[in-house]
Structure 1
């Protein structure tokens, strides 16, 4: 599985564009944290999870919805109500982001739970 927050998700998806032969063999899925693919990867037969915050001032939920066509068709979406962009990491409030309406601990707990469930679902398949 590949994963990335913000531009890290873009980089992970670019890796898949450049190495589609690894999809399903070495890479079973991709996880986007407040991110989306910069180019169309909807054609790739890969599991995908996109987690984003309702209060994200860097990458708005509206933008995620507008970019849905770029994601793999299997993508599961998790919106964290009250979550923002900055609380996916621990680096303080990023310029341009909105204030979160939930604590950083609560946001990270939701992220961990969603990723854990996603990985368990697709790593238990042999």
Structure 2
């Protein structure tokens, strides 16, 4: 009996591991190549994450960005490039264990340590990555949600929060984000980007169940940089 139970457990674990490796949404090659060629951005590829930093020197503010479920971390490089080049924010895109943020038990310092010159840290993420970011927010100076919402109650905290949603998001819909609004501080900055879908927050192509975007990738990257830049400029909310 114990032998059979052990075999079932092993089979289940192997099944989960295999599932996490199948269907990972890859970064689109052309947007990623453009980031690699951008002389305004310095890129460091570490086992824990990808560090995008301003090429003209270290920044005071950083963003630890947690990818959505089964999305290649590199898929967010193009979307966040303007945040680095225009806003001067260092971005650390994490590499979640098994491609799922919930399986990654590392603390925020596992990623902030990749950019030791940064003194002020925002933690954020896309979709499921944003849910995980809420769990790590107590160790950060601010929280930025990208097509996401919290399952953790942060309403009573004094955390600075910005939430970026998409009007055409078919997964983290505006309604779902509104339903979880009570879990954020009363002064959280809630922004809905007209024309943005769920996949507009990354450069990995269309996603099943999503809406149809009416905003271009370049427009989306610029809008995200504008909103994050304003958030930082206002003292993080």
TM-score by length of 1: 0.86
- 2:146 is aligned to 33
Q: 2:162 aligns with which of 31, 49, 57?
A: 49
Q: 1:79 aligns with which of 192, 212, 217?
A: 192
- 1:5 is aligned to 126
Q: 1:110 aligns with which of 223, 230, 237?
A: 223
In 2: Cα distance, 1:61 partner to 1:108 partner: 20
Q: 1:99 aligns with which of 196, 206, 212?
A: 212
- 2:232 is aligned to 119
Deviations 1:72-98 (A, max 9, x none): 222101111111110100000111101
Q: Contact 2:168–2:213 at 8 Å: present in 1 too?
A: yes
Q: What runs of 5+ residues in structure 2 fail to find an aligned partner? A: 1-121
Larger Rg: 2
Pairwise CA RMSD: 1.5
Q: Contact 1:58–1:97 at 8 Å: present in 2 too?
A: yes
Count of aligned residue pairs for this structure pair:
116
Q: What runs of 5+ residues in structure 1 fail to find an aligned partner? A: none
TM-score by length of 2: 0.47
